[in-house]
Structure 1
Amino acid sequence: MLQKTFTLIQLAEKVGGSVQGDESLAINGLATIQDADQAKLSFIANPAYVKHLATTSAGAVILSPKLAEGFEGNALVHENPYLAYAKLSVEWDSVANFTPDISDRSVIAESASIGSNVYIGHGVVIADDVVIGDGVYVGDNVSIGANSELGSNSRLYSNVVVYHGVTIGERCTVQAGAVIGSEGFGFAPTGSGWQRISQLGGVVIGDDVEIGANTTIDRGALDNTVISNGVILDNQIQIAHNVVIGENTAIAACSAVAGSTTIGKNCIVGGASGIAGHLTITDGVHVTAMTMVIKSLTEPGAYSSGTGVQSNKDWKRSIARLRRLDSTESRLKAVEKRLDSINPE
């Protein structure tokens, strides 16, 4: 594949920035500030990396106006260097810039509708009445069930499984191994075992949604499971049946959301968090990592549970004190009662 090359001014124009230094400098990729060479563009968004600015070999660096003032090298100046870097990264994304093709080793139902300029890899299976939009990328060994829809310019990486009756919007990315539309964990006790409950709903995913590798989104029991526009889900997340996630909410890896919970807009859920079922979390909530949410959260703000890391010796002492809390409280109440009897008001 031919390596794409841009001048520094071309890149600046793509993100609404300006150039300090050589506008005609040729750039053929992105790299970290420590490892970049003369043909690479780097960036500084974290103050911890400013120390590398004086010694970097990068051809140019994306900098804020303040940092650019004291820099003698070539710079792409932008108010938000991290956002500029994010927008430019797509220019060297081989999947975003794929060559359309449909593998002769794929299996596509005659009733399926396939848009223009799509890529469908080896071993892909597309079932009856599936609709694939324009500019879609479907990686090797993806399976798409009947009556599902995939919006334009979306990407499904290798080994993704999309069950029947799933709708995925435009410009979505689903990483390898994700499963969308699997049956929810629905069973009725019989007294001697469990009666499986057929999951009759579907999954509806909005536009510009990111779904990480090996994440699972279960279909609804009756209504749909809904992932709204702009949601980002990290790797290995479990979204249970009938969950609704509001716009632009982000959930980090290894978290789980139990059934029929609604999460509002613009929320952040830290890694390895657990959210119980049938709860409502309002807009603008930040749940820090490894938090267990067992009640609805009706006010925006940050919420935490658990304890931070300690040495094992200190942790054992803390746990020992925690176990004594009930008896300590009982003794304290007894002392307070005795003092009240000695010094009545």
Structure 2
Amino acid sequence: MNLNKKSLEDLARLVQGECIGQSNLVIQGLASLDAASAQNISFVTDEKYLDKALASKAGALIVTQALQEKMHSHKNFILVPNPYLAFAILTHVFEKKHHDVGIESTAQIHPSAIISDSAYIGHYVVIGAHCVVGDNTVIQPHVRIDDDVEIGKDGFIDSHVTLTGACKIGDRVRIHANTVIGGEGFGFAPYQGKWHRIAQLGSVQIGNDVRIGSNCSVDRGALDDTILEHGVKIDNLVQIAHNVKIGENTAIAAKSGIAGSTTIGKNCILAGGCGVVGHISIADNVTITGMSMVTNNIYEAGSYSGGTGLFETPQWKRTVVRLRQLADVPLTQLVKRLDHMQTQIESLESTFKLRK
């Protein structure tokens, strides 16, 4: 039974939008334009989806006023400036909530740990000495929380997560399955042909409203702490090495790797598969496009790309041959050739002007 039924008017109020049409229409959930039924609400963000919207069976649509004026076949709307943001807000209305509180019988908790009465501790959770778990935080089964770890309020720690290294986690933080926070950083000193382990003495500090996906690693610092500031969003399968600092509201997509002691600014975006070398800094408001390799400091905001775009295989093979040929030509010869070509172009331009 769906306990989250809402009237169209109630939903409009939640997103501070204008309700148009049947205000008492009962909405049972969100759905895509293609899959929506008369009991669902969907959203439209752009005119390129107009045909789909007109064909949709959704009972109501979240749109801008400009889009609503082009949809005479639909009668029920919520008008907002940003339909995608309104959709994001309403997902929380229809999300299945975890309402259990208390500690399951199979959990093992050190007597010195402080667990809020409103928290939930699932089966087979292990919590070490002097830990803190805040109000309304949910710890799913099989989580391991080592000594001196602190977790704020309204958090969600998914199954098989390990929190170690005395890490400190803020409020409203979500950490998904199989992620390790505070594990040992990759630190070794080379000497006489051997690698000598460096004990990692720092920790991890995670701010409020951070989200970390599944199968991620955030390593503790070697001396100072690894820091994720408020609002950072991390996708699945991301590696963040020791002593990295990530600024507020930066988002990092799947399969990216950040090497040690790198600082990334605020409001940055790293698309999927990016690699960042260690000991560099990236300014605020920088976007790195997918599969790029960042090897130097970035001092100015903007979008940066690396790597080579996709070719058909035969064309790619020809391109590689040309690149190898260029590599065999001394730079001075290339410069001379370019200068000669420039002279020829200027001569042709002069000739064309004289003929006119």
TM-score of the aligned structures, taking structure 1 as reference length:
0.94
Q: Deviations over 1:16-37 (max 9, x none)?
A: 1111111111112111111011
* 3-state SS in 2 of match to 1:53: helix
Aligned to 1:16: 16
Q: Which amino acid aligns with 2:52?
A: H
Distance change (3 Å), C-alpha of 1:59 and 1:338: closer
Distance change (3 Å), C-alpha of 1:337 and 1:84: closer
Deviates more, 1:178-187 or 1:121-130: 121-130
* 3-state SS in 1 of match to 2:4: coil
Distance change (3 Å), C-alpha of 1:53 and 1:197: same
Spell out the pairing of 1:1-345 with structure 2 (5 A cutoff).
Answer: 2-71=2-71, 72-95=74-97, 97-330=98-331, 331-333=333-335
Q: Which amino acid aligns with 2:15?
A: V
Q: CA deviation at 1:46?
A: 4.4
CA contact (8 A) 2:165 2:204 kept: no
Distance change (3 Å), C-alpha of 1:319 and 1:105: same
User: RMSD between aligned alpha carbons?
Assistant: 1.8
* 3-state SS in 1 of match to 2:230: coil
Identical aligned pairs, as a percentage? 42
Q: CA deviation at 1:100?
A: 2.2
Q: Distance in 2 between matches of 1:192 and 1:297?
A: 34
Distance change (3 Å), C-alpha of 1:70 and 1:294: same
CA contact (8 A) 1:227 1:245 kept: yes
Count of matched residue positions in the alignment of Structure 1 and Structure 2? 338
CA contact (8 A) 1:257 1:274 kept: yes
Q: CA deviation at 1:296?
A: 0.5
Aligned to 1:342: none
Q: Distance in 2 between matches of 1:338 and 1:35?
A: 62
Q: Which runs of 5+ in 1 are unaligned?
A: 340-345
Q: Which runs of 5+ in 2 are unaligned?
A: 342-356
Q: Which amino acid aligns with 2:39?
A: A
* 3-state SS in 1 of match to 2:182: strand
* 3-state SS in 1 of match to 2:227: strand
CA contact (8 A) 2:230 2:248 kept: yes
Q: Distance in 1 between matches of 2:46 and 2:311?
A: 27
Q: CA deviation at 1:310?
A: 1.1
Deviates more, 1:54-63 or 1:240-249: 54-63
CA contact (8 A) 1:144 1:164 kept: no
CA contact (8 A) 2:102 2:117 kept: no
Q: Distance in 2 between matches of 1:335 and 1:232?
A: 49
CA contact (8 A) 2:47 2:67 kept: no
Q: CA deviation at 1:194?
A: 1.4
Q: Distance in 2 between matches of 1:207 and 1:185?
A: 26
Q: Distance in 1 between matches of 2:180 and 2:132?
A: 18
Aligned to 2:344: none
Q: Which amino acid aligns with 1:135?
A: N
Q: Distance in 1 between matches of 2:204 and 2:10?
A: 41
Q: CA deviation at 1:198?
A: 0.6
Deviates more, 1:236-245 or 1:107-116: 107-116
